[in-house]
Structure 1
Amino acid sequence: MNLFASFMRTVVPIVAGLVLTLLVRIGVTFDSASVASVVTAVLTGAYYTVFRLLEALAVKIRNKPLATVAGILLGWATPPEYPPTAGTPVRLTPEPNA
């Protein structure tokens, strides 16, 4: 499931960047395919950055509906959780004495 969430969070912003580029292209003519590619990359990066920052802010201020909306606009409602790898130290907290 985490792989699917990660995939969706990558693909949806790319598609959004492409759609935004096509919308811009309606009013502006591009003479070069490379210019269109740069515009697509910039718009995709801007889209992802805005909604990722909004999602992080919503989590920080504990606004679950805003975090959900931002996550959906990134392709998945919540950030994917990755299990720790073998080389990652795991911090264990001691249990209180009963």
Structure 2
Amino acid sequence: MLFPSALRTLVPMLAGWAITVLSGLGLHADSTTVAGGITVAVAACYYLLFRIVERLAEKMGGPAWLLLMVGLLLGYARPPQYESGDDIEALIRASRR
């Protein structure tokens, strides 16, 4: 599950950077810190937009092509599936290995 999760984190970051650089956004950021902050904000908006669309399509039984496209725009066609974390003792034991 690490690979899909990593892709779905890195792809929006790269998209945010690309959108910021390629569009110019009319912002003149002389500082590297400001430019980095703008990139992070754009990447966060990109991720949230496509995750919201993905969740809505899942809940409303949207078309398969929409789920596929949104997933690919997030870096991986399906959201990662995580195991239930209800067994706290098992998680603690696993973390001590």
Output the TM-score relative to the length of structure 1: 0.79
Per-residue deviation, residues 23-72 of structure 1 (Å, max 9, x unmatched): 13385432111210111011001000000000001101112221111111
State the distance in 1 between where 2:34 and 2:84 align.
41
State the distance in 1 between where 2:52 and 2:27 align.
29
Per-residue deviation, residues 62-95 of structure 1 (Å, max 9, x unmatched): 122211111110000010001224329xxxxxxx
What is the match of residue 78 of structure 1? Answer: 78
Q: Which structure has greater helix proportion?
A: 2
Gaps of 5+ in 1: 89-98
What is the match of residue 32 of structure 1? Answer: 31
Aligned-partner residue type, residue 67 of structure 1: L
User: Larger Rg: 1 or 2?
Assistant: 1
State the distance in 1 between where 2:44 and 2:26 align.
21
What is the match of residue 87 of structure 1? Answer: 88
Identity of aligned residues (%): 39
What is the match of residue 92 of structure 2? Answer: none
State the distance in 1 between where 2:73 and 2:25 align.
23
Aligned-partner residue type, residue 39 of structure 1: I
Runs of 4+ in structure 1 deviating by more than 4 angstroms, as ranges, are none
Output the TM-score relative to the length of structure 2: 0.80
